Amino acid sequence: MKFNAVKTSRRRLLGAFAGVAVISATPVYANVAGFLHSAGDVRRISMRNQRTGETIDTIYWIEGEYINPALSEISYFMRDWRRDEVIDYDRRNIDILSASHRLLETTEPFTLLSGYRSAKTNAMLRRGNRSVASNSFHIKGMAADVRLKSRSVAQLTAAGKACKSGGVGKYNGSNFVHMDSGPIRSWNG
């Protein structure tokens, strides 16, 4: 039995995967080198936005290259939904979230509580809650607050810390974990 091999260029493959990016309702693994080498040639992000009901499940990186249309969809998904403002969301934080999710060995998408926040939204939230940082990494599109039903806050925190990249805040009382691509640090909220 003979098989005819169809030659596919890397660019054609990247283009095909770019079409896999899905957002319903519209729309760098930075220092994690050790984890990255075993992560494979494809990176994916899967989330549900608790506030808007939107979901995203997209491959955004293949064989060392980011897929720009997928990054644009992720930026839209992570937008400040209160003001409908979009910025280019930090690739490093997408990598941290993706690596953490992979370490948790679950197919359940993250539930996103907060991604990018405009300075105005952050100031409004800060007036109601002093634990909201005045110079939050959310304002820079470098942070996300996430949870999983199938994993504990402690498990999410451990996965975030295992990436050895960025900040990881553990919020037991509110049942979420903050992950950002700022300096490496951790705290309990």
Mean pLDDT by 10 residues, the chain (189 residues): 38 42 37 49 94 96 94 98 96 95 95 96 82 86 97 97 94 96 94
170 — phi, psi (to 5°)? -100, 120
Give the pLDDT confidence score for residue 40 in this predicted structure: 55
Could you tell me the domains of the chain? 10-188 (3.30.1380.10)
Nearest to 91 by CA among 51, 157, 43: 43
Q: Which long-range contacts (CB under 8 A, 24 or more apart) does 182-185 make?
A: 182/137, 182/142, 182/143, 184/31
Structure tokens at 182: 């700022």
pTM of the prediction? 0.79
CA 178 – CA 143 distance, rounded (Å): 7
Give the pLDDT confidence score for residue 189 in this predicted structure: 84
